[in-house]
Amino acid sequence: MSLPEEYLYPVLVFSVVLAVGFAVRKILTRIIRHWAARTETKLDDVILGSIRSPIIVWFLVGGVYAAVGLVHLPTNIAGVIDKGLLALLILSIAWTLANIASGVIKYYGYRIGAAIQVTSLGQIITKFAILSLGIVIVLSELGIEITPLVASLGIGALAIALALQDTLANFFSGFYILAEKSIRVGDFISIEGVGEGTVVDISWRTTKIQTLPNNLIIIPNKKLAESIVTNYDLPERELSLSTVIGVSYHEDPDRVEQILLDEASKAVKEMGGTNPDFTPLIRLAPADYSLNFTVIWRATNVRERGRQIHEMNKRLVKRLKAEGIEIPFPVRTVYLRQERSQRLKPPSRRPATRRAVEGSKSD
C-alpha cells in the first residue's frame, strides 16, 4: 500500500464521522425546536443553544480518534494525541454544562429560589466554578499534580491581586451584594448622592440602574456597597404615599377632614395601583398661613408614585373648590412697631485755641 493509500481510509473515516455529526446536529436541532414550540419552558432553548457548537467538537474528536487508530504512529505520538483529544472532550463537556447552568440560572433563578441571583456576576461565577472543575479533571487525567501547581501560582496570584485591587474590590463587593440579597435585580432603589431607579444588572465590576427617565446609571460595586441605599421593594413592594394640601384658617377643620377623607377613599378605589382595602389617613398640622392636611394612602409599588400623587392632588383640589373651601395663597403679615429714637448729632468742629496755636509755634 502506497503512502497516499495508507492515509486515504483514515481520512475517509474522519470525513464520514464529521458528516454524521453535522447530520445529527441538524436532526437534533429540529427535534428540540419542535419540542420547544409545544412547550412554554425555556429549558429546551437553553439546551439547544448550549449544544449546537460542542456537538460538532464531539464528533470531530471522535473522527480524529477513529482515524488515528487506523494509522500506524509511534507510541509516544499516539499517546499525546489521545490525551489531547481527551482533554478537548472534557473541556467541551464542561463548557456545555457551564452554559446550561448559566441559562438555568438566567431563566429559572427566581422560580427555584437560587442563592445566586439572576445577574451577570451570578452567571460568571457559575461558569467559572464548572470550568474550574473541568480543568482540574483534565490536569488529573494528564497526570499533572495540582498541589505544587497551586502553590507556585500563589505568588503570582498575590502579585496580580496587588495590581488589581480596585477590580477585585468591585468583584467581591458585587459578590457580597448578591450573597446579602439586600439589592436584587428588578428592585427599585435610591442611592444617596447618585439617584434612583430599577436595578438592571449586577456584573463583576459595576451595577446598572435604569432611571425613570429611561437613563442608565452605572456605579462601581464597591461604591454601591459603601453607599446608603433605600430599597423600595424590601421588605415588600407596597408602600405609603402622601400629599399635603392647605386650607384657610377660617375653615372648619372637622369639615375639611371629612371632605378630604371622602375624596381620598374614592380615589384609591378608582385610580388604580393602590390598595383599596387601606383606609386613607388624614393628619393636620398648622402652618404659617394655612391649615395643612396630609393625606396618606397605600400604593402597590413605588413606580406608581408620580402618577398617583398627581391624580390625588387634582381630585383633592377640585373637591375643595366644589365645596367652597378656600385654598389660600402664601401670605405673611408683618407688623411694624415705631419707637422714639434720638438722632445722634454730628460732632461740632471747634476752632483751635490760641494757646494750642502758640504752643505749636514755640515748638
Cell of 235: 421588605
Rounded CA separation 310/299 (Å): 13
Integer-rounded Cα radius of gyration of the chain: 39
Percent of the chain with pLDDT over 70: 75
Considering the domain 145-235 in this protein, what is its CATH number? Answer: 2.30.30.60
- The domain ranges of the chain are 3-141, 145-235, 239-322
Least confident of 86-90, 239-243, 272-276, 347-351: 347-351
List CB contacts of 125: < 8 A, sequence separation 6 or more. 116, 175
Coil, helix or strand at residue 287: coil
CA 243 – CA 232 distance, rounded (Å)? 18
Contact by Cβ (8 Å): 313, 245: yes
**pTM for this prediction:** 0.56
Instruction: Using pLDDT thresholds of 50, 70 and 90, give the confidence band for residue 322.
Output: very high
| Gap between the Cα atoms of 132 and 114, Å rounded | 21
DSSP character for 92? Answer: H
Q: Do domains 145-235 and 239-322 have the same CATH topology?
A: no
Do 325 and 257 form a contact (C-beta atoms < 8 A)?
A: no
**What does the pLDDT read at residue 26?**
78
Of the candidate ranges 76-80, 152-156, 259-263, 287-291, the one whose mean pLDDT is the lowest: 152-156
pLDDT reading at 38 higher than 70: no
- The CATH classification number of 239-322 equals 3.30.70.100
Question: Mean pLDDT lowest for which of 83-87, 129-133, 186-190, 343-347?
Answer: 343-347
Measured in whole angstroms, the distance separating CA 105 from the mean position of its chain's CA atoms is 16
- Enter the DSSP assignment of 164: T
263, with CB counted inside 10 A (0-12, 13-18, 19+), is buried
pLDDT tens, residue by residue, 51-69: 777 777 777 777 777 777 7
20: cell is 454524521
